[in-house]
Amino acid sequence: MRLLDLGSVPWSVSGYWHNGARLRPDSPPLVGPVPARVPGAIQDDLLRAGILADLNLGFASREAEWVEHRDWVYSATFRVPAARGERQWLRWEGLDWSGEIHLNGRSLGRFAGMFLPVEQDVSALLRPEGEDNQLVVAFDPPPEVEGQIGHSSRIRTLKSRFNYQWDWCPRIVPVGIWDEARIECSGAVRLEQPFVATSWDSLSATGSLRCQVSLEGEGAQEARVRVSVLPDGGGAAVWEGELGAASGAEAGFPPEAPGLVHRRGSQRGLAVEPWWPTGFGPRPLYRVRLEVFAADGRLSDERTLRTGFRELHFGPNPGAPEGALPYTCLCTGKRVYLQGVNWVPPTPLYGALRREDYEPVLARLRNMGCTMLRVWGGAVLEKEAFYELCDEMGLLVWQEFYQSSSGLDNLPSEDPEVIADLATVSTAALQRRRHHPCLAAWCGGNELTWLDGRPAGLDHPNLARLAQVVEEHDPGRMFFPSSPSGPSFGASPEQAGKGLHHDVHGPWTYVGHPQHYRHWDGVDALLHSEAGAPGASRAEIIRRVAGTLPAWPPSRQNPLWVHHGDWWVQWDELTALFGPWSGEAELEAYLASSRYLQAEALRYAAEAVRRREPLAAGFLIWAGPEPWANTANCSVLEYDGEPKPAYGFLRGAFAPLHLSCRYPALAWKPGETWSAEAFWHRGVTAPTTAGWSARGRLVALDGTELGLWHWPLAAQGEP
C-alpha cells in the first residue's frame, strides 16, 4: 500500500568532485544546493536553476558534459502519516545509475543499475509521526557505455545507450532519480509480484481473468487474497472472488520463488466489454484490486492494476515463406495493420517526463493514424504513464529489451554474467508492464545481427534466454528475437520472390529518382518494422538553435549542422535534385526542399507497403518524436512537438479510406507517356464503399488538366 509519494516532498541536489563528499555534512559542494524534481535528472535541475543553458541551443550540450563527471547528492526532509501499518519500505522504480542511500544517518546500502527497482525495508528507521526524516541519495559519476558506433558484443553495462551519442542526439548522460520513488507500507503479510492476465471470448462475449500473487511475511500461509474487478470509471464490481493456494507449477503462471507463498485463481464469463486498438472500437478499462487479509481478518496489503480484456496474438502472413515468424497482428478476431512509428523518449532527460509531457505527443501520433509504437531497444522502459496513455488511446506497443546495434558489430553479448543481468532487469520490466492491454509484443532488441549481417534469432544464447524469461513471466505474449528478424536485414527488389524478406529495416533515405519508386514497388517483405527518410527542421527552429552562430551553409563545413545532425546533412543530395543554392537567402527554400523530400519518400513507401496488405503486415517509420533539436533527422515531429510535412502525408497514407497510385517515377519529360495503377484502400473497420466511385486528375505544374478518370469501387469484406 502506498504511504507517501516521495515526488511530493521538497528535494535539493548538490554537486561534488568524485569522492569529495562521501556523505559528509561539512563538505561544501561545488554546485548547489539547488531545488530538484523527483523523478527527474540533474541536468534538468541545473537548467531550471540557471546553471546550464538550454541544451538544444548551439553547442550548449557539449559544454554541459562536465555534469556527468561529478558526484551528485539528493537530500529531502519528510514526515510520514500516522496510519503507516506495521512494515514500511522505500521503493525506487529507477535510480540512474549507482550510489548509496542513507536514511536518518544510517546507510541502506549501495545500488547499481537504472532498470532494476530498488526496495529497502525501513520499518526500524522511520521516525514517529510529526518527526522529520532525513533521506540522502548520493550518485557516483555514471559508467562509460558505447554509443552508436561501437561493439554490441562488448556491452557489459545495461544503461540507456542513446545518451552517449546517437545520430539524433548528442552526448547527454543523465544522472538521478529518474522514475517514481515512494514509501510503501503493509501489515505483517505483504503482497508481491502481482500477475494479472486477461482474455476475451468472442463466442460468449465475456472476459476471462487469471491472477497470481506472492505473499511474504509472518502469517502468509493463513492469509486470504480477495480479487475485485471494477470498471475504471467507477461503479459496482463486475466480479469478486478469492484466490486459492497454489499446488505446484501451474501452466500459464510465472515460476514460483523460494520463501514466498503463492495464491492463484481464474474466472471466466465476466460481464465486461472488450478493449480495442484505436480505430477498431472503444477501449474500456478495468481495475483489478488485490487485497490481502491476515488471519484475524484485517487488511494487510493491497494492490490495484488497471487492465483491459482482449484476445491479441500474431498469426502467419498469407503466403509467408516456411519458417517465417508470425507478423500478422490479430485483436479479438480482427486483423490490425501495424502502421506507426518507432518511439524514442521525447527528451534525453527521460527522468523529467510526466504524463502531461507524453500525452500531446501520443495524441498526435494517434491522430496521424498510428496503430503501433515500437519502443526502441537503445533507450528505456518508458514510465507507467506512457503505457497508461497507450491503453487509453488504443496504441499498441512493441516493447524492446535493453539492447541495440553498434555499427562495428551488432552481436548481442554472449557473456553469461551479462545475460544473467539482462534476464533480471527484463524480468522486472515484464512484472511491471505485463498487465497493460496495449502491450502487443516483447522483443530482444534493435538490429541484433550475426557478424555476417543476418538477424540473430533464438539460436543465440542471449535471445534464447530472453524468450525463456518472457515465457516464464508473460506466457502467451509474442516475443520477437530482434527487429529485424528472418534471413535478411533489409530488402531489395533483386532478391524479391526468394523468401528472404521477413521483418526488414531500411532504407532511411529517398533512394533516388526514379529508384525510390521502383525499390518500394519491388520489395516483398512481410513487415517493415523500421524505415525512414530525413527532413530538416523549420526555419524558426534552425535560427533559434543557431543563435549568433551561422545557419548557412547547411553542410558538413558548418560545425553547427555537424553537431545538430551530421548523419542527415543533405547538401549534396538536395543540390543534385533542386540546386545549386545561391546563399543564405535560400535557407527557407533549402529547408522546404528537405521537408518535401522526406514527406514524399515516406508517403510513397507507406503506400507501397500498404498496397501489399495483407501479405505485408505493417510499416513503421523511423521515427516519431525528436528528443533534441536537430537541424535535420528522420523524425516526423520536431523537438517542440510540431509536425513536419511528412506527418500530414503519412496521415493520408494511414487513413482508413485512401486512394493511392503506383507509378515508376515522379518526374516526366514532355513527350513521355505517363502511366499509373490506382489502388483503393479500405481498412478493416472502415464503412462499406458500395456504390462509391473514385476520380483521378492529372494536372501539369501550370494547372493544365492532362487527364481525368473515374473508377467504380466494389464493396469487399477485406481491404
619 within some domain: no
Q: What pLDDT, in 10s, does the model give residues 571-604?
A: 999 999 998 999 999 999 999 999 999 999 999 9
Residues comprising the chain, all counted = 719
Query: Mean pLDDT throughout 550-571?
Result: 96
Position 718 scores a pLDDT of 36
584 within some domain: no
475 within some domain: no
Residue labelled with grid coordinates 539492447? 403
- Report the chain's mean pLDDT, rounded to a whole number: 94
Q: What pLDDT, in 10s, does the model give residues 488-504?
A: 999 999 999 999 999 99
Tell me if the bond preceding 514 is cis, omega within 30° of 0: yes
Q: Is the pLDDT of residue 216 over 80?
A: yes
Q: Is the pLDDT of residue 394 over 50?
A: yes
Position 248 scores a pLDDT of 46
Position 719 scores a pLDDT of 34
Q: What band does 23 get if pLDDT is binned at 50, 70 and 90?
A: low
Position 691 scores a pLDDT of 79
278 within some domain: yes
103 within some domain: yes
Contact 134, 77 (CB under 8 A): yes
Q: Residue type for 467, please?
A: A
387 within some domain: no
> What is the domain range of residue 77?
2-182
Contact 513, 505 (CB under 8 A): no
Kindly state the cell numbers that stand for 542. 534552425
Position 701 scores a pLDDT of 81
Residues 92 and 138 in one domain: yes
Range of weakest confidence among 56-65, 257-266, 688-697: 688-697
Q: Is the pLDDT of residue 716 over 50?
A: no
Q: Is the pLDDT of residue 717 over 70?
A: no
Give the 3-state secondary structure of residue 663. Answer: coil
Between 669 and 98, the more confident residue is 98
143 within some domain: yes
Contact 21, 75 (CB under 8 A): no
Contact 208, 268 (CB under 8 A): yes
Position 693 scores a pLDDT of 85
Residues 225 and 145 in one domain: no
Chain center to CA of 296: 44
Q: For position 38, which CATH number holds? A: 2.60.120.260
> Of the residues 182, 212, 237, which one is the last residue of a structural domain?
182
Residues 150 and 15 in one domain: yes
445 within some domain: no
Position 252 scores a pLDDT of 54
Residues 135 and 251 in one domain: no
Residues 29 and 167 in one domain: yes
Residues 96 and 214 in one domain: no
Residues 175 and 26 in one domain: yes
Q: Is the pLDDT of residue 539 over 80?
A: yes
Share of residues in the chain with pLDDT > 70 (%)? 97
Chain center to CA of 700: 43
Tell me if the bond preceding 249 is cis, omega within 30° of 0: no
CA distance 475 to 115: 22
Among residues 238, 214, 243, 209, the alpha carbon closest in space to that of 226 is found at 243
> Of the residues 121, 152, 182, which one is the last residue of a structural domain?
182
Query: Mean pLDDT throughout 310-334?
Result: 96
Q: Is the pLDDT of residue 714 over 70?
A: no
Q: Is the pLDDT of residue 710 over 90?
A: no
Q: Is the pLDDT of residue 320 over 50?
A: yes
Residues 99 and 136 in one domain: yes
> In the chain, how many domains are there?
3
Residues 18 and 159 in one domain: yes
> Of the residues 182, 203, 233, which one is the last residue of a structural domain?
182
Q: Is the pLDDT of residue 650 over 70?
A: yes
Position 259 scores a pLDDT of 79
CA torsion angle 496 500 504 509 (round to 10): -40
Kindly state the cell numbers that stand for 590. 533549402
Among residues 237, 317, 278, the alpha carbon closest in space to that of 486 is found at 317
Backbone phi and psi for residue 620, each to the nearest 5 degrees, phi listed first:
-115, 125
Residues 18 and 162 in one domain: yes
Cβ neighbours around 718 below 10 Å, total = 9
Q: Is the pLDDT of residue 382 over 80?
A: yes
Residues 157 and 266 in one domain: no
Residues 192 and 178 in one domain: no
CA distance 397 to 399: 6
